[in-house]
């Protein structure tokens, strides 16, 4: 039964990749509904990815708009439609890195501190507590380690795709991934009640 389920999910994954490639090809030809389908497919994933690094939702939303504008302008030049996923994450990586650099410069020049975000409502449900704890563990990591964990486990990119996205070697990705998992596990162990 497990083999059938795994095979079924592999087929579904391949079909999803083919659909995505078709939308990319159609969008490259100027089909607005195909581009909208790509936006719908990646919008939430990219927003979550950007929120891991932006100071607030407004910064993440602004950066997401910049990502989609860059994708729209450059889509016709994408030579390998099957590489869309890596390409869109490369753009998001570059945009958020620029935002972080700009924010650091602002802080250096104006010594401005980010406003404290109001504490969210505490949920009594254990599921929310585990999710919140997982987010805290992720947020406790350096940006490089947070990024590699987010891309691998929350966005399901392969090691090779992550290496392409971050423009580094697979060995660097493996090293960062190993360290990030170790640090996240350590954080979770230390915060258990």
The last residue of one of the domains, among 117, 147, 170, is 117
The last residue of one of the domains, among 117, 136, 167, is 117
Q: Which CATH number does the domain housing residue 44 bear?
A: 1.10.1740.10
| Burial class, 94, CB count within 10 angstroms (exposed 0-12 / middle 13-18 / buried 19+) | middle
d(C-alpha 160, C-alpha 152), whole Å: 10
For the chain, what is the mean pLDDT?
Answer: 81
Domain span at residue 106 reads 1-117
Task: Specify whether 125 is located in the same domain as 112.
Answer: no
Q: Which CATH number does the domain housing residue 171 bear?
A: 1.10.10.10
Which pLDDT band, with edges at 50, 70 and 90, does 6 fall under? low
d(C-alpha 166, C-alpha 185), whole Å: 23
Instruction: Return the DSSP state at 141.
Output: S
State mean pLDDT over 50-60.
Answer: 87
Give the number of domains in the chain. Answer: 2
Which pLDDT band, with edges at 50, 70 and 90, does 168 fall under? very high
Q: Which residue has the higher pLDDT, 87 or 1?
A: 87
Task: Specify whether 14 is located in the same domain as 104.
Answer: yes
Task: Specify whether 107 is located in the same domain as 131.
Answer: no
Q: Which residue has the higher pLDDT, 191 or 132?
A: 191
- Is residue 132 within 8 Å of 164, Cβ to Cβ? no
Residue 128 pLDDT: 44
Task: Specify whether 31 is located in the same domain as 89.
Answer: yes
Q: Which of the residue ranges 2-6, 38-42, 86-90, 91-95 would you say has the lowest mean pLDDT?
A: 2-6
pLDDT digits (tens, 9 = 90+) for 109-159: 334 333 333 444 433 445 445 666 777 788 888 888 888 888 887 777 889
Task: Specify whether 88 is located in the same domain as 36.
Answer: yes
């Amino acid at each position: 039964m497990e083999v059938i389920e795994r095979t079924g999910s592999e087929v579904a994954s391949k079909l999803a990749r083919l659909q995505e490639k078709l939308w990319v090809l159609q969008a490259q030809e100027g089909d607005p509904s195909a581009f909208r389908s790509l936006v719908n497919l990646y919008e939430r994933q990219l927003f979550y990815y950007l929120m891991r690094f932006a100071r607030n939702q407004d910064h993440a939303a602004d950066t997401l708009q910049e990502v989609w504008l860059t994708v729209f302008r450059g889509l016709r030049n994408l030579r390998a439609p099957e590489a869309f996923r890596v390409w869109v994450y490369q753009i998001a990586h570059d945009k958020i890195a620029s935002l972080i650099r700009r924010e650091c410069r602002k802080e250096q020049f104006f010594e401005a501190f980010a406003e404290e975000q109001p504490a969210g409502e505490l949920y009594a449900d254990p599921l929310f507590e585990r999710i919140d704890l997982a987010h805290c563990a992720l947020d406790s990591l350096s940006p490089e380690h947070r990024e590699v964990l987010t891309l691998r486990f929350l966005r399901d990119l392969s090691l090779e795709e992550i290496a392409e996205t971050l423009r580094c070697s697979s060995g660097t990705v493996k090293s960062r991934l190993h360290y990030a998992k170790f640090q996240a596990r350590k954080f979770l162990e230390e915060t258990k009640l």
